[in-house]
A = this chain, B = another copy of it.
Amino acid sequence: MGNELRKYEEFLGKGRENFLKKVEEAYKKFEETKTFYFPTWQYGEAKGTLFKLEVEDAPKFGQNAFIELDSGRTAFLSIDMQTDFAGTKGYVDVMGYDLKATAGPIEPIKNILETIRGTDIKVIHTREGHLPDLSDAPFNKVLRSKIIGKGTGIGETPEGGMGKLLVRGEPNWDIVDDLYPIEGEYIIDKAGKGAFGMSNIHLVLKNLGITHLVICGITTDVCVHTIMREANDYGYWCILLKDCTGATDEGNYKSAIKSIKMQGGVFGNVSDSETFIKAVKEAKLK
C-alpha cells in the first residue's frame, strides 16, 4: 500500500499545484479589488452580461465584497413561496406560527421578479410537497406534523382549509398568487427540505448551465438553508437576499444569516433585494 501511495503523491501533487495557481491568482485579485471575479478559466467566457453584486460581511464581518455574475449563467431561486408556508390555513398556519415572518418576503421578491423578468437571468421556483399517496413522505415527518398540528398533519385537510397539507396538486401547496410563475420560468417540485437528493434540480441546473444562484424564499433556517448548503457543497456560488427570506422564529432567522458568513462565507454570501435590483438595473441586462 505504501508504494501505491508514493506513486499517488507524485502525480496528484501536480494537479493540486495547477489548481492552487488559479486560486492564488483569484486571491491576489480579491485582495486588490475585493471582488470574486467570474472564473472564466473554469466556466468559459460569459454567456450573458457580467455584473457585480455587493455582498455584506465578506470576507469578514464589517467588510463588504463583490461577486461578479454572468447573467446567462445565473438563476434566481425562489424557494417554497407556497400558501402552505406563507398563507392562511396552510401548513405553517396550522402549526400555529405567525404568518408575518414567512409572508414578509413576498413584496421584495415581487420587486425582484419585476426587475429581472425579460432579462436572461433564469427564474426557478421550488415547491415542497408530497405525492398524493404520500409514498415519498417519511413516516416520522408526517407523524411529527400531526402532533404539532393538533391532530392535523401532512396529507390531511385542516378545518376550513383549502386542501391536504403539503400534497402536490392541492391549492394550498401551490405558489402564492403574487409570485406565481409566468411563461418561461421553471418549477422544481421536491419531496424534502433540501432539493438535491429530493428532486431533479441537479439535472435542471446542469441543463440550464447555471453557475450562480441568487436565493430567496422561506423558511430561512429550514428549506432555504438546506438547499443553499447542498448547492454550495457542489460548488455553486450562492447569494442569499436577506430581506427576501423569513423564518418562523426571529432568532433562528438572524443566526441562519450569520452562519452563512462564518469562515469567510462557509455557505456563500448575503446581500439584499435593493442591492441586487440596483446591480441588475445598472448592468442593463438583455
Contact = CB atoms under 8 A, between A and B. Distances in A.
Contacts of A39: 139
Contacts of A26: 139, 143
Interface in A208-230: 208-209, 221-222, 225-226, 229-230
Contacts of A266: 144, 193, 222
A126 B167 CA distance: 20
B20 A156 contact: yes
Q: Count this chain's copies in the assembly.
A: 4
Contact of A142 (B23, B221, B262): B23
Interface stretch (A103-111, A183-191, A272-280): A183-191
Contact of A249 (B181, B198, B258): B258
Given A135-B204, A197-B196, A255-B221, A263 B144 contact: yes
B23 A207 contact: no
Given A156-B20, A255-B221, A264-B95, A139 B235 contact: yes
Interface string A169-206: 11100100000111111110001111011111011101
Given A230-B194, A233-B193, A12 B143 contact: no
A137 interface: yes
B10 A5 contact: no
A156 to B, nearest CB: 7
Nearest to A46: B44
A62 interface: no
B262 A19 contact: no
A256 B252 CA distance: 8
A19 B134 contact: yes
Classify chain A's interface size.
35 or more
Interface string A30-59: 110000100100111111000000000001
Please list the 7 inter-chain residue pairs (A to B) with the smallest Cβ-Cβ separation, ordered nearest first.
A148-B264, A15-B133, A138-B235, A255-B255, A14-B183, A192-B233, A12-B132
11 contacts: A3-B171, A11-B133, A26-B143, A135-B208, A145-B263, A191-B200, A192-B234, A197-B203, A197-B233, A198-B203, A252-B255
Given A1-B169, A222-B263, 20 more contacts: A5-B5, A11-B182, A16-B133, A16-B167, A18-B184, A27-B147, A44-B45, A44-B47, A59-B144, A136-B207, A139-B207, A147-B264, A192-B233, A193-B233, A197-B230, A202-B202, A203-B234, A221-B262, A222-B262, A249-B262
Interface of A: 1-5, 7-16, 18-20, 22-24, 26-27, 30-31, 36, 39, 42-47, 59-60, 72-73, 95, 131-149, 151, 153, 155-156, 164, 167, 169-171, 174, 180-187, 191-194, 196-200, 202-204, 206-209, 221-222, 225-226, 229-230, 232-235, 237, 248-249, 251-252, 254-256, 258-259, 262-267
